[in-house]
Structure 1
Amino acid sequence: MSALLRQNPRYSAAVTSPVASLIMPLLHSMSGASEFAVFFNDERRRTIIKAVFDSYYAGIPVDHLVFDTNRTWTGKLPLLNELYPKSKVICCVREIGWVIDSLERMLRKNPTQLSRTLDYKPGSSLYARIETLMNSDRGLIGLAWSNLREAWFSQYASKLIVINYDTLVAAPEAVLRGLYRELEEPWYPHDFANLSYDEPEYDAHLGMPGMHKVGARVERQNREPCIPPDIFAKYAHLSFWLQPEAVRKGIVTL
């Protein structure tokens, strides 16, 4: 999604951003946990936090649109609503089993390295690695899933724009046109057969070279899974965004 969005010269997008991780320690330092808490009120806290966004994106022209990527934003919707009431959160979703399969496949491509996604621990088995990934507090997948579910059933659910991976790869232009409509932005002609995006230094730091390298074309890639079928079965019920009983008023699904 970032590779597509950044084709638009008015858009700033990347695979991830440190802004959320910069803000949370600041909040801690301005709270009762710090001896300096008495020097802060809500207005000063808001000003300081917004200054982080303004400073990080200082080089972006004022008429441009910024897409700041972090899996934890869905767990911070009250804060985003306080800072930027008109903000929207794009949530890219996919069946959990296939997310696990992709990560395991990438780990196996780099057998001589340990990955930061697993706290640099090899895991005694595939099942142990999955338990780490699915941890709701720190896991790469579990944290993102629990934050999304929190946002989905919250009073801020109308901020969510949900994009299903399978729909995106099957009909990328239709999905992007829908996104532009929701953002009330003029359409930009994207090239779905000529993508270019890579973050080699970041991926090397994660211990997973090639993790975020994007293929040239948006298309469905059929492949045999590398994980056992019981893992797909175990996590099949977690795709709550596909369940009719979980439909929420205001959430846009593309």
Structure 2
Amino acid sequence: MDRRIHFISGLPRSGSTLLSAILSQNPRLHASMSSPVAGMFTTMLGELSERNEFSVFINDAQRKRVLRGLFANYYDGEVGAEVVFDTSRAWCTRLPALKNLFPDARVIACVRDTAWIVDSIERLIRSNTFQPSSIFNYQTGGTVYSRTEALVNGDGMVGYAYNALKEAYFSEDTSNLMLLQYDTLVNDSARALAAVYDFIGEPLYAHDFEHVSFDDRGFDKRAGTPGLHHVRPRVGATARQTILPPDVFRRFENDPFWRDPQLNPRGVRIV
């Protein structure tokens, strides 16, 4: 690539879109919502594998060139910024590959308490009561209990991302990984962004946390979930009570493993 690349990953509804919107104020940086690159990366890996009858003609050096070329061909000519952030929850499952392809790249994983993630998604569903959501395959039935189960199972929007995060956090490839807590991003934005810039080795930029903008209403409407990537102009926390039943909310009280120093033997940076 003609530019540096980093990755944003982690849990849904945990600040990745907000982080991208803030970073994009810096003309040196390009960041946006989840891109199709991770999906194309996964498909290409499969096509370059032994299931391809012509794989005898493909070696690892060629695979690496093709996969690096995917990023270059997607971003070069389309993005003028010198530094690109690509976003996908799947990147937490690709740390060894990313470290091999882009040794200087960093992965920023956004994290948040699972209960509040589920609460946030449930609020979206209830606020769009006449629009079935792609999150639940546009199904119109169910209860908060069935929706929660669908979200947190291994293939669900939250469960997959949570398992991917644990895979990355407890792996041997954590030197390029940082966890950014949602509460830090919204309550202490200056410190959060200073940590991000230090982590990626870029000079600090004076961001405007009072006037943040991001608009992907077309994507959200097509997904049947208006507001999915909505970012408020002013960065800050909003105090509220949960709309989840107490037993559902308490179910996830032990999920934030990153808060236990004893579970961080490799010293992953947590902000």
TM-score band (shorter)?
over 0.9
Once the two structures are superposed, the pairs formed by residues 100-111 of structure 1 within 5 Å of their partners are 100-111=118-129
User: Is 1:23 equivalent to 2:34 in the alignment?
Assistant: no
How far apart, CA to CA, are the structure 1 residues paired with 2:195 and 2:265? 18
Q: Does 1:217 align with 2:234?
A: yes
- Report the aligned-residue RMSD: 1.2
Contact 1:123 1:129 survives alignment (8 Å): no
TM-score, scaled relative to structure 1: 0.96
How far residue 104 of structure 1 moved from its aligned partner, in angstroms, is 0.5
Q: Which residue of 2 is the match for residue 5 of structure 1? A: 23
Question: Which consecutive segments of 4 or more residues in structure 1 shift more than 6 A?
Answer: none
Query: What are the within-5 Å matches in structure 2 for residues 1-254 of structure 1?
Result: 1-59=19-77, 60-61=79-80, 64-136=82-154, 138-254=155-271
For structure 1, the residue ranges without an aligned partner over 5 or more in a row are none
Q: Secondary structure at the match of 1:141?
A: helix
Q: What are the ranges of 5 or more consecutive residues in structure 2 without an aligned counterpart?
A: 1-18
Q: 1:245 to 1:232 in 2, by over 3 A?
A: farther
Contact 1:122 1:129 in 2 (8 A): no
Q: Which amino acid aligns with 2:207?
A: H
Return 165-174 or 96-105, whichever deviates more.
Answer: 165-174
- In structure 1, distance between residues paired with 2:200 and 2:43: 30
The one-letter code matched in structure 1 to 2:134 is: R
Deviations along 1:198-218, one digit per CA (max 9) or x if unpaired, are 201111121101211100111
Q: Could you give the per-residue CA deviations for residues 45-75 of structure 1, whole angstroms, max 9, x where no partner exists?
A: 11111111001101234x7111100001001
Identity, % of aligned positions? 39
Alpha-carbon displacement from aligned partner over 1:118-149 (angstroms, at most 9, x marks no partner): 1222352111111111122x211111110000
Call closer, same or farther: CA 1:66–1:250 in 2, change over 3 Å: farther
Check conservation: 1:197, 1:214, Cα contact below 8 A: yes
Query: 1:112 deviation in Å?
Result: 1.4
Q: Which residue of 1 aligns with 2:11?
A: none
Distance in 1 separating the partners of 2:42 and 2:36:
11
Contact in 2 for aligned 1:11/1:64 (Cα 8 Å): yes
Structure 1 residue aligned with 2:16: none
* Separation of aligned partners in 2, 1:196 and 1:148: 28
Q: Secondary structure of 2:109's partner?
A: strand
Give the conservation status (yes or no) of the 8 Å contact 1:30–1:37: yes
How many residue pairs are counted as aligned between the two chains? 252
The 3-state SS of whatever aligns with 2:145 is helix
CA contact (8 A) 2:106 2:199 kept: no
For 2:230 and 2:238, the matched residues in 1 are separated by 15
SS in 2 for 1:214: coil
- Which digits, 9 at most, give the CA deviation of each residue in 1:230-252, with x for residues without a partner? 11211111111112321232411
Aligned mates of 1:168, 1:77 — CA distance in 2:
23
How far does residue 17 in structure 1 lie from its aligned partner after superposition?
0.7
> 1:192–1:217: 8 Å Cα contact kept in structure 2?
yes
* Alignment check: 8 A CA contact 1:195 1:215 kept: yes
Return the TM-score normalized by structure 2: 0.90
Cα distance in structure 2, aligned partners of 1:89 and 1:117: 25
SS at match of 1:91: strand
Q: Residue type matched to 1:127 in 2?
A: Y
